[in-house]
Amino acid sequence: MINIMEESKKIQHEIVKWRRQLHTMPEVGIDLTETTAFITAKLEDMGIEYEDNVGICGIVGLIKGEKSGKVIALRSDMDGLPITEETDLEFASSNGNMHACGHDAHIAMLLGAAKILNENRDLINGTIKLIFQPDEEGSSGAKLMIKDGVMENPKVDGFLGLHIGSIFEQIGPGQIGISYGKVMASFDKFNLKIIGSGCHGAMPHIGIDPIVIAGQIINALQTIVSREINPTHPCVVTIGKINGGTAYNIIPEFVEIEGTFRALNQTEREIIAARIEEIAAGITKAMRGSYDFNITWGAPPVINNSEFTAEFVKSAKKLIGNENIIQITEPTMGGEDVAYYLSEVPGTFFFLGGVNEEKGPVYPHHNSGFMLDEDVFYIGTALLAQGAIDWLEGNK
């Protein structure tokens, strides 16, 4: 039997090289021309068949084992963020965008796994799909690819994905975090326009003040979680943006509010969505105003399959030992559109510790100073490859 970890170590330099190249050219959303060209060129070099332009600009590679069997999908997101990078890396981006969430490393690690798996097809009892997905940050990429048939032809039976970085602080560099159930929240956006009637600030009685109405609504929205949701169930309602007014002595015509709400339970997600509008409607009516309301639905909660996760943990133990596998007991309220795949088939989404305080300052995800510990990349590659081989072997 091949030693997957040793094979991954052998190509660590390539994984790092790929990641650095990708880091110099981050692209956003579904406009990923350079990124997809880079990936397809690597797949062609490896002799891996692929289909591009899936879900607008996604890529699906296919590695068929020498023995027939089930199909497992391995996924990487591809998009960066509209952040100007502020690091002193030699390979820092200079195009106004930044890979500030680790997606460049995800691509490189999946390409590494693809290389190992393709060169060892005799070990594969089935088929491995390689999913390179656009627009995770905008939460449209997974939906677009699923709609375009990524989970079919051949039909996917299992799913494995990872996220590198510092999302869970308890996971050290080179360690992984696993969860046997809910691990990330749903994430949705709402826009609320509160409409009043403008007038002079010295004569508020002849107008309708949308700023005062907005203040009442903002305070009331916080009671949804504190007074209407079971206190043991994590939920969040956050106002992230308020815009209204043009001068100190003018009551404006309207105020615009943008925010997000998060939940680990679909029913509570729907309750929060309904209550935001009901509260806005009630307060604006009571204060003689009106409103426009819109929700942009994001991804549902990320829920791992417990049986699949248990099988993956057995694979991980072979590579990194039980002491480096950390069970996540408290989910994050951050979200990920990987949830769409996990709602289709059994699978797991694990977290690779990818920052190291001993090597420099640690910045959070989506920060202009975000950096990764490149020395752990081969571990992510090995875990993806070993996980895929073992799952197909155990589910013949």
Tokens, residue 113? 């796994």
**What is d(CA 195, CA 175) in angstroms, rounded to the nearest whole number?**
51
What is the per-residue pLDDT for 360?
86
* Max Cα distance, the chain (Å): 83
Confidence of residue 204 (pLDDT cuts 50, 70, 90): very high
Using the predicted structure, report yes or no on whether residue 209 has a pLDDT greater than 90: yes
The model's pTM is 0.94
The DSSP letter of residue 370 is: -
φ/ψ of residue 39, rounded to 5: -65, -45
C-alpha torsion 346→319→105→120, nearest 10: -80
Using the predicted structure, report yes or no on whether residue 86 has a pLDDT greater than 80: yes
User: Model confidence over 27-51: pLDDT tens digits?
Assistant: 999 999 999 999 999 999 999 999 9
User: Model confidence over 213-227: pLDDT tens digits?
Assistant: 999 999 999 999 999
The CATH number assigned to the domain holding 287 equals 3.30.70.360
Domain match, 365 and 312 both: yes
Domain match, 223 and 268 both: yes
Q: In the beta sheet, which residues pair with residue 72?
A: 128, 158
Tokens, residue 130? 């390689």
What is the per-residue pLDDT for 352?
98
Using the predicted structure, report yes or no on whether residue 127 has a pLDDT greater than 80: yes
Confidence of residue 114 (pLDDT cuts 50, 70, 90): very high
- Give the residue numbers spanning the domain of 260: 186-296
The number of domains in the chain is: 2
Mean pLDDT estimate for the chain: 97
Q: Burial level of 206, CB count in 10 A (0-12/13-18/19+)? A: exposed
In 249-261, which positions are buried (b, 16+ CB within 10 angstroms) versus exposed (e)?
eebbbbbebbbbb
Domain match, 180 and 103 both: yes
The CATH number assigned to the domain holding 66 equals 3.40.630.10
What is the per-residue pLDDT for 359?
92
Tokens, residue 107? 């691509």
Domain match, 243 and 324 both: no
Q: Which of 235, 267, 296 is the last residue of a domain?
A: 296
In 196-346 the beta strands, taken as DSSP E runs, fall at: 199-200, 235-244, 250-251, 254-263, 290-296, 302-303, 325-327
Domain match, 180 and 190 both: no
Domain match, 114 and 263 both: no
Domain match, 133 and 247 both: no
Q: Which of 247, 274, 296 is the last residue of a domain?
A: 296
Mean pLDDT of 76-86: 98
Q: Which of 231, 262, 296 is the last residue of a domain?
A: 296
User: Model confidence over 137-196: pLDDT tens digits?
Assistant: 999 999 999 999 999 999 999 999 999 999 999 999 999 999 999 999 999 999 999 999
**What is d(CA 326, CA 294) in angstroms, rounded to the nearest whole number?**
39
**What is d(CA 107, CA 32) in angstroms, rounded to the nearest whole number?**
13
Domain match, 27 and 165 both: yes
Confidence of residue 75 (pLDDT cuts 50, 70, 90): very high
Nearest 5 degrees, angle CA 166-CA 375-CA 98?
A: 55
Domain match, 314 and 328 both: yes
Q: Are 72 and 392 in contact (CB under 8 A)?
A: yes
Sheet containing strand 49-54, edge to edge, reads 49-54, 58-64, 125-133, 67-77, 158-165, 347-353, 176-178, 325-327
Percent over 90 (pLDDT), the chain: 99
What is the per-residue pLDDT for 1?
73
Using the predicted structure, report yes or no on whether residue 260 has a pLDDT greater than 90: yes
Strands 67-77 and 158-165: parallel
Domain match, 379 and 248 both: no
User: Model confidence over 275-309: pLDDT tens digits?
Assistant: 999 999 999 999 999 999 999 999 999 999 999 99
Closest CA to 150 of 46, 68, 53: 53
What is the per-residue pLDDT for 145?
98
Domain match, 252 and 305 both: no
Domain match, 313 and 274 both: no
